[in-house]
Amino acid sequence: MNRRHFLKMSTATAVAMAASTAGLPGGKGLFRAARAGTLPIAPQGSMGARETTSVCEMCFWRCPIVGKVRDGKLIKIEGNSRSPVNGRRVCARGNSGVQLLYDPDRIKYPMKRVGARGEGKWARISWDEALDEIAHNMDKVRKKYGPHALAFFDHGASAEHLRKIFINLGTENYTSEPAFFQCVGPAALAYLETVGYITTGTRQYNDMANARAMLLVGSHIGENIHVSHVREFIAGLQNGAKLVVVDPRFSTAAGKADIHLAIRPGTDTALMLAWINYVITHNLYDKRFVANHCQGFDALKKEVSGYSMEWAARICDLRIEDMKAAIELLAKASPQVNIHPGRHSTWYGRGDVGRHQSYAILTALFGAIGVPGGIYFPSPVPLGHVECVAEKSEKVAPIEPEVSLREDSAYPFSSNFGTVTADIIKAINTGKPYPIRLLGINGVNVIQTIPDPYETMKALKSLDFIFCEEIMAGETAIWSDIILPDAVYLERYDGVYAYDGLTPYVTVRQPVVEPLFEARSPYWIAKNLAKRLDIPGFTCPDERAFIAKELEGVDYSLSQLNKEGGLMTLPADPYRKPDKLKLDTASGKVNLQVEDFEDEDLDPIPKFEPTPAPPKGYARLIYGRSPVHTFSRTMNNLWLHNEIPENKLWLNDRVARQLGIKDNEEVVLENQDGKRSNPVRVLVTPGIRPDAVYMAHGFGSKSPLLSRAHGKGAADGFMMTRNEEDPFMGATSKRTNFVRIIRGGKPLAIPDLCPVPDEIPRYTIKSA
Amino acid sequence: MKQYGMIINLDRCVGCHACAVACRAEWQVPTREGYRRNWVHRLGPANTSHGMSFTFYPGLCNHCDSPACVPVCPADTVEMTFRDPESGKTKTMEVAATWKDPFNGTVQIDQSRCLGCGACRDACPYGARYVNTEVANEDIGGEGIADKCTFCMPRVEKGLAPACVQTCITDARIFGVVNDPKSEVAAYIRKGARRLESAAVRIGPNVYYFGKPRDLELLDRTSTPQEMPEAADRRRMLASLMQPAMRRMQTAGLLGLAGAMAVQGLAAEEDE
């Protein structure tokens, strides 16, 4: 034995001895556990790590959380145990905030485009250079083309301060959220006009936990994960609520339903109107509620009288027994019946508002307003007024455009909500009614969101200047001239978050760790940009100052809140006794017939207008959410990508058999305009109608700066080249595109297994 | 003996994958292919004899009554004393690098003694184990370290729920004592919660699934193992090769396992 051998042996022995005294399992065993110096120790878990309370932003639901930090590194996120809505629970995305923070693909520094626009070549620059350049370009475009040549697309908590910059530069194009015009718009307007408040906005005031029956039309709770919403849904079911799900697809919710109606896409309003007629003619409605709290009943009764169950069964491709059983089941539970108002409602363009109006009408007929189990009223939380963040400054003299994109829109109900997003894209591409030459973008992937994406890309290419404030360089960021690295929600203060649902609370987003790299908070960015543009009003030194002002409204301070676990609860006032029920409409009653619509020559009571059926050989493309992803934002996240790295194309099993397509086989989609998708794997299932295919939204990123997500799965958005605009507010339809399957480069015609009744026209493809 | 177990209520489960991710976060499980302690498989939609089903297989180590993974471990045995925190009783057993705890019924691994041979992984009909080859006990000639769900014993001992149970957004997971008739777990078993067992695989898994007949049928059809796996020959060979060296060192006295491996290396060099 030479010396080296001896040393090796004695070192190993010493390690073994040390391990035995360190309390490892093994007790008095002869052979001690051994560790070499380079070995990992068993993971110690997250117990005992320092906890900071905050608020999640992996989606817009914003659950209260705690970040657990050890040795300066965030190791785990859990729910805030003080939270009445989620307690210690967070969803897969909430858990994965850790990997957003530490994603190696994060935008780390301000960056300037050096190649052609969209080419993806960048140079690192300083914050001063970046902000100087943005300010210079905003000023230049404003001077050359006027203030309205600036436009801002935004979503999420980061956007609020930057929006103030655009407002103060005098543009009318600042509230242009795809979250409204490509998502909740029609549902929000329908409820606002029918019951006087937006029952389904960022929050959804529907009391599923106390319902005895629930109706979901297309809502896919369970794949659409908002923790408290899912909890209320499951609580309702566990309390014995019956569930009716209307969906062309067998969703997670359908899997829990008592009755699943696999409806022909585009015919939901036909079913709703036939049900409303049935409820009225079979005396299943709440007569006292209708007499005391509704206006327009007689007109409604007359209007829906032509919609029979027999007719609807044919239109909707459903069995009449199932339709009857479903409406009887819902009626039996009234008034504790939850007609879910839905959220994402930009489906078919024409008729989208009417569809959601019909949900509100059925809710009212069942008397399910302001009662447990129905829709309820928010409990306002009186936050303090914050003066230190700029409102529209007096210094900005308003310049009215000759033709306003916002006020003179073709859609009578759009201007209250903002400038129609698709109109901004059109204005960029046509220069009419005035040129739009500069775009600011924050927190939204406009390319995968606003149809037609090819028009959007054309618009982006033609602009004088684009900048974005982002965390990850998705498809929008790669088109930008300057990218500003936004701080992750875990690195920054934001405002105060007040929840006004059934269990109101106030909590605060605060940093769990220091910002990494050169990321800056949205307030810091806006304040420093404002300085350069001579915009007054960002007078708070930092976010804590305005958090303090907001908390004054509920007589709290941040330190007090933090002493009490970062969250305070408030009393709720969600329900109304019949004599106290007064709605915030002109009449104080439910508008079964909406006069505001009639005034604009729109239908005051919904009518069924068929949307064209797929052309022969094609299926309708429908889409939804992956339960572990948010929009197209989270596909690059290490842990979420690991759970669901790509989407699958749901294809009816009979269709697959006829086409000879096997489960998990890779195919390409081609839409009615010849646009082709990325390759996508097929899920062969009886759980989708033969006349539709389905995939989860947000995959198939075209950004090479997302190393995991790039090119994984197919993007529904890139198949959306055909859309119809909703005549009420200009929301763009997203379920009006048709696809066929390409295998081995050859198109396969989708067999026509669902005969289309004469009342529904088929879409015809323009010959090339 | 108390036996810890878990109920997964598929009526509550929406397949959100929070359990799988929380487990990965809590125990820093790497994301390489097949590396997981806790998983969710999405099942269907598919037809069953009770109608269509779209359900999930949230899986983890079953901490079986007769675990197949324990007897195949080739690591040298050590004498280990277990203590029941409730009664204060102790029990001393000879265990290899993986064992079934005599007081709480969980199956555990001493990762500092794992050789990473993969015999346990291969023996488990549920695929509950993986071998992390990014790490190894090099001093004992290891080529990786086996890992799996511990039922979060380090958390449970501190009075916390397992990470997957704590994060479950719909409270679909219930952790508790299977053989305590007063427990919620036992109540679910009485209500019909069932194990994923087949004619050939009856090793007493202690994760039970509750749900509608259609969902249980689809779960069973897709996820119940139909045969006991054979540990791969390579593992068995490796295990048999290891054994003599260990025995040799046992006779060498108090050097310990690490010492044994060092001497084995020495012997190899001397042979050259």
What mean pLDDT, rounded, does chain A reach? 92
Tell me how far the alpha carbon of residue A595 is from its chain's centroid. 30
Q: Which of B88, B249, B86, B121 lies closest to B98, judged by CA?
A: B121
CA distance A382 to A180: 25
Segment A309-354, tens digit of pLDDT: 999 999 999 999 999 999 999 999 999 999 999 999 999 999 999 9
Question: What are the helix (H) ranges across A600-670?
Answer: 638-643, 653-659
Which of A7, A17, A24, A31 best probes binding to B when mutated, by most B CB atoms within 10 angstroms? A31
The pairing of beta strand A590-591 with beta strand A567-569: unpaired
Give how far A93 is from chain B: nearest CA, Å.
Answer: 8
- CB-nearest to B137 from A39, A254, A256 is A39
Segment A702-713, tens digit of pLDDT: 999 999 999 999
- B36 and B168 within one domain: yes
Q: What angle do CA A601, A607, A612 make, to 5 degrees?
A: 105
CA distance A84 to A175: 32
Segment B186-197, tens digit of pLDDT: 999 999 999 999
Give how far A556 is from chain B: nearest CA, Å.
Answer: 30
Contact A686 B47 (CB under 8 A): yes
- B77 and B38 within one domain: no
Q: What six digits make up the tokens of A398?
A: 């308003």
Contact B155 A260 (CB under 8 A): no
What was the pLDDT predicted at B270? 35
- A141 and A213 within one domain: no
Mean pLDDT of B231-253: 53
CA distance A24 to A289: 70
Give how far B190 is from chain A: nearest CA, Å.
Answer: 18
Residues A360 and A190: beta-carbon distance below 8 Å: yes
A25 contacts on B by Cβ (under 8 Å)? 80, 108, 110
Residue A277: phi and psi, rounded to 5, are: -60, -45
- Specify the range with the lowest mean pLDDT, choosing from A515-529, A638-652, B188-202, B225-239: B225-239
Residues A593 and A358: beta-carbon distance below 8 Å: no
For residue A312, give the CATH number of its domain: 3.40.228.10
- A495 and A470 within one domain: yes
What was the pLDDT predicted at A390? 75
Segment A86-102, tens digit of pLDDT: 999 999 999 999 999 99
Evaluate the CA torsion angle A571, A574, A576, A581 in order and state its sign: positive
Give how far B166 is from chain A: nearest CA, Å.
Answer: 6
- A359 and A467 within one domain: no
CA distance A12 to A3: 14
- Provide the percentage of residues in chain A whose pLDDT is more than 90: 87
Q: Establish if B48 touches chain A: CB-CB under 8 angstroms.
A: no
- A707 and A583 within one domain: no
Contact A29 B79 (CB under 8 A): yes
- B243 and B210 within one domain: no
Give the containing element (helix H, strand E) for A590: strand A590-591
- B172 and B57 within one domain: yes
Q: Establish if A554 touches chain B: CB-CB under 8 angstroms.
A: no
Ramachandran area for residue A608 (φ above 0: left; ψ -120 to 50: alpha; else beta): beta
Burial of A472: CB neighbours in 10 Å, binned 0-12, 13-18, 19+: buried
Contact B259 A16 (CB under 8 A): yes
Total tally of structural domains belonging to chain B = 2
B167 contacts on A by Cβ (under 8 Å)? 78-79, 88-90, 95
Segment A264-285, tens digit of pLDDT: 999 999 999 999 999 999 999 9
What was the pLDDT predicted at A39? 37
- A732 and A678 within one domain: yes
The 10 Å Cβ neighbour count of residue B10 is: 26
Q: A15 vs A11, A23, B97, B259, CA distance in Å? A: 6, 13, 18, 10
- Evaluate whether ipTM surpasses 0.90: yes
SS3 content of chain A, % helix, strand, coil (to 5): 30, 20, 50
SS3 state of residue A768: coil
The 10 Å Cβ neighbour count of residue A517 is: 12
Total tally of structural domains belonging to chain A = 4
Highest mean pLDDT among A150-159, A509-518, A532-541, B247-256: A509-518
Residues A233 and A263: beta-carbon distance below 8 Å: no
Q: What is the 3-state secondary structure (H, E, C) of A178-218?
A: HHHHHHHHHHHHHHHHHHCCCCECCCECECHHHCCEEEEEC
Q: What angle do CA A97, A560, A65 make, to 5 degrees?
A: 15
Give how far A642 is from chain B: nearest CA, Å.
Answer: 7
DSSP string, B183-217: SHHHHHHHTT-B----SS--S---EEEE--HHHHH
Segment A380-422, tens digit of pLDDT: 999 998 877 777 766 667 788 999 999 999 999 999 899 999 9
CA distance A320 to A331: 16
Maximum Cα–Cα distance across chain B:
69
- B113 and B79 within one domain: yes
Q: Which of A637, A632, A638, A667 lies closest to A443, judged by CA?
A: A632
- B220 and B117 within one domain: no
Does A768 score more than 60 pLDDT?
no
- Specify the range with the lowest mean pLDDT, choosing from A155-169, A193-207, A487-501, B248-262: B248-262
Does B265 score more than 50 pLDDT?
no
Q: What six digits make up the tokens of A559?
A: 């330190």
- B222 and B169 within one domain: yes
Q: What is the 3-state secondary structure (H, E, C) of A237-282?
A: HHCCCEEEEECCECCCCHHHCCEEECCCCCCHHHHHHHHHHHHHHC
Q: Where is pLDDT greater, at A394 or B107?
A: B107
- A407 and A259 within one domain: no
Does A1 score more than 80 pLDDT?
no
- A434 and A538 within one domain: yes
Give the containing element (helix H, strand E) for A122: strand A122-124
CA distance B272 to B268: 7
Segment B63-100, tens digit of pLDDT: 999 999 999 999 999 999 999 988 999 999 999 999 99
- A564 and A427 within one domain: yes
Q: Where is pLDDT greater, at B243 or A622?
A: A622
For residue A174, give the CATH number of its domain: 3.40.50.740
- A259 and A165 within one domain: no
- B247 and B119 within one domain: yes
Does B246 score more than 80 pLDDT?
no
Residue A665 in any domain: the answer is yes
Q: Which residues are bridge partners to A652 per DSSP?
A: A685
The 10 Å Cβ neighbour count of residue A63 is: 28
Evaluate the CA torsion angle B58, B60, B65, B68 in order and state its sign: positive
What was the pLDDT predicted at A73? 96
- A485 and A437 within one domain: yes
Residue A319 in any domain: the answer is yes
A639 contacts on B by Cβ (under 8 Å)? 21, 24-25, 31
What was the pLDDT predicted at A388? 79
Contact B139 A32 (CB under 8 A): no
Ramachandran area for residue A349 (φ above 0: left; ψ -120 to 50: alpha; else beta): left
- B108 and B57 within one domain: no
Does A228 score more than 50 pLDDT?
yes
What was the pLDDT predicted at A766? 81
Does A28 score more than 50 pLDDT?
no
B74 contacts on A by Cβ (under 8 Å)? none
Q: What six digits make up the tokens of A218?
A: 């297309």
Give the containing element (helix H, strand E) for A310: helix A309-316
- B30 and B17 within one domain: yes
Q: What angle do CA B234, B237, B239 make, to 5 degrees?
A: 110
Residue A537 in any domain: the answer is yes
What was the pLDDT predicted at A35? 36
Residue numbers of A between 23 and 52 with CB closer than 8 Å to B: 24-36, 38-40, 42-47
Gyration radius from chain A CA atoms: 28
Which of A4, A20, A30, A247 best probes binding to B when mutated, by most B CB atoms within 10 angstroms? A30
Mean pLDDT of B111-139: 95
> Taking the CA of residue A251 as centre, how many other CA atoms within 13 Å lie in the half-sphere pointing to its CB?
33
- A228 and A140 within one domain: no
Strands of the sheet containing A64-70, edge to edge, are A50-55, A64-70, A73-79
B266 contacts on A by Cβ (under 8 Å)? 1, 5, 8-9
Contact B113 A33 (CB under 8 A): yes
Residue A145 in any domain: the answer is yes
Q: What six digits make up the tokens of A264?
A: 């022909």
Segment A427-467, tens digit of pLDDT: 999 999 999 999 999 989 999 999 999 999 999 999 999 99
Residue numbers of B between 138 and 157 with CB closer than 8 Å to A: 138-140, 145, 152, 154-155
Q: Which residues are bridge partners to A485 per DSSP?
A: A470
A250 contacts on B by Cβ (under 8 Å)? 44-45, 52, 54
Summary count for chain B: helices (H), strands (E): 8, 11
CA distance B207 to B173: 10
Maximum Cα–Cα distance across chain A:
104
- CB-nearest to B54 from A1, A96, A252 is A252
Does B238 score more than 70 pLDDT?
no
- B120 and B6 within one domain: no
Q: Where is pLDDT greater, at A21 or A231?
A: A231
Q: What six digits make up the tokens of B67?
A: 């675990």
- A282 and A153 within one domain: no
Q: Establish if B101 touches chain A: CB-CB under 8 angstroms.
A: no
For residue B39, give the CATH number of its domain: 3.30.70.20
Task: Please give the residue range of the domain that contains residue B168.
Answer: 1-63+151-231
Residues A334 and A368: beta-carbon distance below 8 Å: yes
Q: Which of A624, A181, A622 lies closest to A425, judged by CA?
A: A181
Task: Please give the residue range of the domain that contains residue A662.
Answer: 619-748
Q: Which amino acid is at A242?
A: K
CA distance A239 to B15: 20
CA distance B168 to A481: 42
Q: Which of A391, A388, A404 lies closest to A171, judged by CA?
A: A404
- B45 and B73 within one domain: no
